[in-house]
């Protein structure tokens, strides 16, 4: 090597490899984990089963958690205020349903279902779909009547029409509603306060309850596709000052709600609530 004595050169020490342990020398080869076929499918299936059980449990509790399920429908709502006279029809329907809902909940024996939220609208189709799914023991739809002269007054109601599965039950409930409203001071229209409502070529046709002919006409949508009693009430005429004073003010709506409550108790065969009965 140039510039240095080759005798002085010392080769670098070779690094000795650290001896491998026996376990390392004879370590068996690792197996690759295999993905189980159908794992995702099983998880999805479990989630689906849990969802069905949870939903089914909720429905059973909602439907059968209490002895009676009562559906209340406040007519119109949202941008649809209904007929306009001394008051708007929707004011009457929402005040009455709110008061009746409170009475039923305070009783403690009723599962109360509202077809819509107060202040919001809902189509008749959606209301009927909800009612058809829940199948309550009875359904009460509250409305207000109107006429152009402002002279008409009184109470009338419309049960499910002849030929419908729930006609007889609805007639029984309607008769009790009329009796209680008459006892509360209302005048019954059409003799007994009960009529049948149909639509013929888009026009409303009303017939007396003594006409039990099964017509091939459409009826009020909220009454259809139910097995329990279903009745639509025209509480009073919103175009008549005297009627509104009796059954359209806050006090009047409360009076009507109490009459409906008594009719519901009578129809379901429920005794008058005791003082200690309240919503749990």
Greater confidence (280 vs 263) lies with 263
pLDDT value at position 13?
Answer: 63
> Which of these, 152, 154, 145, 142, lies nearest to 87 by C-alpha position?
145
Least confident piece of the model among 55-64, 125-134, 178-187, 222-231: 55-64
Return all residues near 40 (Cβ < 8 A) that are at least 6 apart.
none
Angstrom CA distances, 119 to 81, 122, 210, stand at 10, 10, 37
For residues 16 and 10, what is the distance between their CA atoms, to the nearest angstrom? 17
Greater confidence (57 vs 247) lies with 247
For 232, phi and psi rounded to 5 degrees? Answer: -105, 130
Residue 221 has pLDDT above 60, yes or no: yes
pLDDT value at position 271?
Answer: 72
Residue 280 has pLDDT above 80, yes or no: no
At 191, the pLDDT band (50, 70, 90 cuts) reads confident
For the entire predicted model, the pTM comes to: 0.76
Question: How confident is the prediction for the chain on average, in pLDDT?
Answer: 87
For residues 177 and 175, what is the distance between their CA atoms, to the nearest angstrom? 5
At 28, the pLDDT band (50, 70, 90 cuts) reads low
Q: Does the CA dihedral 229-230-234-235 come out positive or negative?
A: positive
pLDDT value at position 16?
Answer: 62
At 183, the pLDDT band (50, 70, 90 cuts) reads very high
Residue 212 has pLDDT above 70, yes or no: yes
pLDDT tens across 84-138, in order? 999 999 999 999 999 999 999 999 999 999 999 999 999 999 999 999 999 999 9
At 3, the pLDDT band (50, 70, 90 cuts) reads low
Angstrom CA distances, 69 to 53, 60, 106, 149, 174, stand at 22, 12, 14, 39, 17
pLDDT tens across 258-272, in order? 999 999 999 999 876
pLDDT value at position 30?
Answer: 64
pLDDT value at position 46?
Answer: 72
Domains of the chain: 69-268 (3.40.630.40)
Residue 36 has pLDDT above 80, yes or no: no
pLDDT value at position 144?
Answer: 98
pLDDT value at position 45?
Answer: 76
Return all residues near 83 (Cβ < 8 A) that are at least 6 apart.
89, 144, 145, 146, 238, 239
pLDDT value at position 276?
Answer: 43
């Amino acid at each position: 090597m140039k510039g240095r004595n080759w005798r002085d050169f010392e080769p670098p020490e070779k690094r000795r490899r650290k001896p491998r342990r026996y376990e390392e020398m004879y370590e068996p080869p690792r197996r690759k984990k295999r993905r189980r076929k159908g794992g995702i499918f099983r998880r999805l299936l479990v989630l689906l089963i849990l969802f069905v059980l949870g939903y089914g449990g909720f429905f059973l509790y909602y439907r059968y958690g209490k002895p009676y399920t009562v559906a209340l429908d406040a007519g119109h709502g949202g941008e649809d205020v209904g007929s306009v006279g001394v008051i708007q029809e929707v004011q009457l329907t929402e005040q009455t349903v709110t008061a009746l809902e409170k009475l039923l909940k305070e009783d403690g024996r009723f599962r109360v279902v509202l077809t819509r939220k107060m202040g919001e609208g809902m189509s008749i189709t959606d209301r009927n779909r909800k009612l058809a799914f829940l199948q309550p023991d009875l359904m009460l739809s509250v409305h207000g009547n109107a006429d152009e002269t402002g002279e008409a007054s009184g109470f009338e109601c419309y049960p499910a029409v002849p030929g419908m599965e729930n006609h007889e039950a609805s007639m029984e409930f309607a008769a009790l509603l009329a009796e209680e409203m008459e006892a509360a001071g209302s005048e019954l229209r059409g003799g007994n306060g009960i009529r049948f409502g149909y639509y013929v070529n888009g026009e409303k046709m009303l017939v007396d309850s003594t006409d039990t002919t099964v017509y091939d006409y459409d009826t009020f949508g909220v009454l259809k596709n139910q097995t329990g009693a279903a009745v639509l009430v025209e509480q009073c005429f919103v175009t008549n000052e005297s009627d509104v004073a009796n059954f359209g003010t806050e006090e009047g709506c409360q009076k009507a709600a109490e009459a409906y409550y008594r009719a519901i108790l009578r129809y379901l065969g429920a005794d008058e609530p005791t003082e200690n009965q309240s919503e749990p």
